[in-house]
Amino acid sequence: MIEVLYFAWVRERIGVPRERVETTAATVADLVAELRGREDRYAAAFADTSALRVALDQGLADFDAPLAGVREVAFFPPMTGG
């Protein structure tokens, strides 16, 4: 069981800010593939992962990072702070 968070237009496309996901995905990329297969709104949000960033337990990570031991995954577009 993993907590998955969405921000900005990823959140808007998927329609929820967070959800608990039952998964055995080994990496972020595997999790994305699983989510894409769920419903159109996920496929739309994850259509182009080069436009997305991911954080594992609140630290930036790569899409090939392993999920073992991770409790919180967040997907969002490139940040625009400042």
Partner 1 sequence: MRVAVQSAAFDLGAEVAAFTDSVIGAGAVVTFTGIVRPDGGLTAMEIEHYPGMTEKAISDIAAQAVARWALADALVIHRYGSLKPGEAIMMVATAAPHRADAFQAAEFLMDYLKSRAPFWKKEIRAQGEAWVAARDEDEAALRRW
Site residues, partner 1 (CB under 8 A): 5, 7-9, 11, 55, 58-60, 74, 76-82
User: Residue 67 CB, nearest distance to partner 1 (Å)?
Assistant: 17
Q: How far is the CB of 23 from partner 1 (least distance, A)?
A: 21
Q: Which is nearer to partner 1, 66 or 77 (CB)?
A: 77
Quote the CA–CA distance of 33 and 20 in Å, as a whole number: 16
Sequence-ordered list of residues with C-beta below 8 angstroms from that of 71, at least 6 positions apart, any chain: 2, 3, 57
Write down the least CB distance from residue 6 to partner 1, Å.
Answer: 10
Q: Report d(CA 69, CA 43) in Å as an integer.
A: 26
Residue 76 amino acid letter: F
